[in-house]
């Protein structure tokens, strides 16, 4: 080495490294033109490295903020549950996907998943507000899921300016020696039922209108018997949406993935679904899996936990 030309790679006063060139091919010493060229190359490298670091910081901060807003699932015994949230691939795309699962005072287990329209701080804040309101309503009254969603919609309309939100609210409760799923949907994707014999099927039913559209629209209730060890999967559209495939194709693929991994624990099942999802990753995604106990509940002979029925009457009794 007879000559060496070096310059620091910097951006906004921070040094990322150094760029060195040794010995010109013509054997001549480096001149001012060479120095200008190396300075330009180092400047471009500094901008690229700085942007990459900023990308990581924005993405990491957005993901951490979103996760802080989502709940840690509490002890739901005798049920088992797990949830996974994965942010969108684009930097800074805060999402409105959310989930929750709580064991209620009447021994029923409530689960909900939802998606607030938008990908910004406003959507994330609205998500946290809606989730908190819904949990309070679930503890305050023992009513069918449709009644809870209707009350939530009226409350949001009266005191907030939140964007349109889709949601699916469900209750799993013991009924005459078996487990029964009661649910109501506010424009959300149908739950996916996975049975211990490795079969998966969607619980298609009237989805109702999303929250924030029309508080006067009636909300239907639905019910379905569950066998011991059955798993109900709730998910958001980021898990299945792809611009080059239809929504039905995404749903079919997700059902096959769920059936193939049905023998796993709820946590492992959720992880498998987000690892092998058919979506393109442009949107954030959330998945919640709730599994019934391996044994049937004791028969009360009255229908419902502790011999009580839901206030306002039972669900419509339709089984998809």
User: Is-above-0.85 flag for pTM?
Assistant: no
pLDDT of residue 135: 87
Task: Name the nearest CA neighbour of 166 among 96, 110, 100.
Answer: 96
pLDDT of residue 318: 35
Distance of CA 241 to the CA centre of its chain: 13
Give domain 73-307's CATH superfamily: PPM-type phosphatase domain (3.60.40.10)
Q: Which residue has the higher pLDDT, 287 or 71?
A: 287
- Cα separation of 256 and 297, whole Å? 29
By CB atoms closer than 10 A (0-12, 13-18, 19+), residue 148 is buried
Confidence of residue 146 (pLDDT cuts 50, 70, 90): very high
Residues 50-56, mean pLDDT to the nearest whole number: 80
> What's the chain's Rg over C-alpha atoms?
26
Residues 93-112, mean pLDDT to the nearest whole number: 85
HEC string of the chain?
A: CCCEEEEEEEECCEEEEEEEEECCCCCCCCCHHHHHHHHHHHHHHHHHHHHHHHHHHHHHHHHHHHHHHCCCCCCCCCCEEEEEEECCCCCCCCCCEEEEEEECCCCCEEEEEEEECCCCHHHHHHHHHHHHHHHHHHHHCCCCHHHHHHHHHHHHHHHCCCCCEEEEEEEEEEECCEEEEEEEEEECCCCEEECCCCCEEECCCCCCCCECCCCCCCCCCEEEEECCCCEEEEECHHHCCECCECHHHHHHHHHHHHHHCCCCCHHHHHHHHHHCCCCCCCCCEEEEEEECCCCCCCCCCCCCHHHCCCCCCCCCCCCC
Same topology between domain 4-62 and domain 73-307: no
Strand partners, 80: 291
pLDDT of residue 84: 92
Could you tell me which CATH number the domain at 4-62 has?
3.30.450.40
pLDDT digits (tens, 9 = 90+) for 182-204: 999 999 999 999 999 999 999 99
274 touches 99 (CB < 8 A):
no
Instruction: Give the start-to-end residue ranges of the domains of the chain.
Output: 4-62, 73-307
106 touches 142 (CB < 8 A):
yes
Residues 275-294, mean pLDDT to the nearest whole number: 88
* Residue owning tokens 């040794």: 22
Q: What percent of the chain has pLDDT over 90?
A: 43
Residues 215-239, mean pLDDT to the nearest whole number: 94
Whether 11 shows a pLDDT value over 70: the answer reads yes
Whether 173 shows a pLDDT value over 80: the answer reads yes
With the C-alpha atoms ordered 294, 266, 180, 101, is the resulting torsion angle positive or negative? positive
Report residue 53 as tokens: 């670091």
């Amino acid at each position: 080495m007879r000559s060496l030309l070096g310059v620091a790679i910097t951006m906004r006063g921070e040094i990322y490294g150094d760029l060195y060139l040794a010995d010109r091919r013509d054997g001549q010493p480096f001149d001012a033109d060479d120095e200008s060229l190396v300075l330009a190359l180092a400047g471009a490298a500094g901008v690229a490295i700085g942007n990459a670091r900023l990308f990581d910081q924005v993405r990491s901060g957005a993901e951490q903020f979103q996760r802080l807003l989502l709940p840690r699932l509490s002890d739901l015994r005798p049920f088992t549950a797990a949830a996974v949230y994965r942010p969108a691939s684009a930097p800074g795309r805060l999402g409105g996907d959310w989930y929750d699962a709580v064991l209620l005072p009447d021994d029923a287990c409530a689960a909900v998943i939802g998606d607030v329209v938008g990908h910004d701080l406003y959507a994330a804040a609205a998500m946290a507000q809606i989730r908190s309101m819904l949990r309070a309503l679930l503890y305050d009254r023992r009513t069918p899921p449709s009644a809870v969603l209707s009350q939530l919609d009226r409350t949001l309309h009266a005191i907030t300016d939140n964007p349109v939100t889709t949601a699916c609210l469900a209750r799993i409760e013991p009924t005459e020696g078996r487990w029964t799923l009661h649910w109501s949907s506010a424009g959300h994707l149908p739950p996916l039922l996975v049975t211990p014999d490795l079969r998966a099927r969607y619980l298609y039913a009237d989805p109702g209108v999303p929250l924030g559209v029309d508080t006067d629209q009636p909300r239907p209730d639905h019910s379905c018997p569950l066998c011991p060890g059955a798993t109900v999967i709730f998910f958001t559209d980021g898990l299945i949406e792809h611009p080059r495939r239809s929504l039905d194709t995404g749903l079919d693929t997700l059902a096959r993935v769920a059936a193939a991994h049905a023998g796993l624990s709820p946590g492992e099942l959720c992880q498998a679904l987000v690892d092998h999802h058919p979506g393109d990753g442009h949107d954030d995604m959330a998945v919640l899996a709730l599994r019934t106990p391996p044994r049937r509940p004791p028969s009360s002979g009255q229908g419902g936990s502790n011999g009580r029925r839901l206030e306002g009457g039972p669900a419509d009794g339709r089984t998809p």
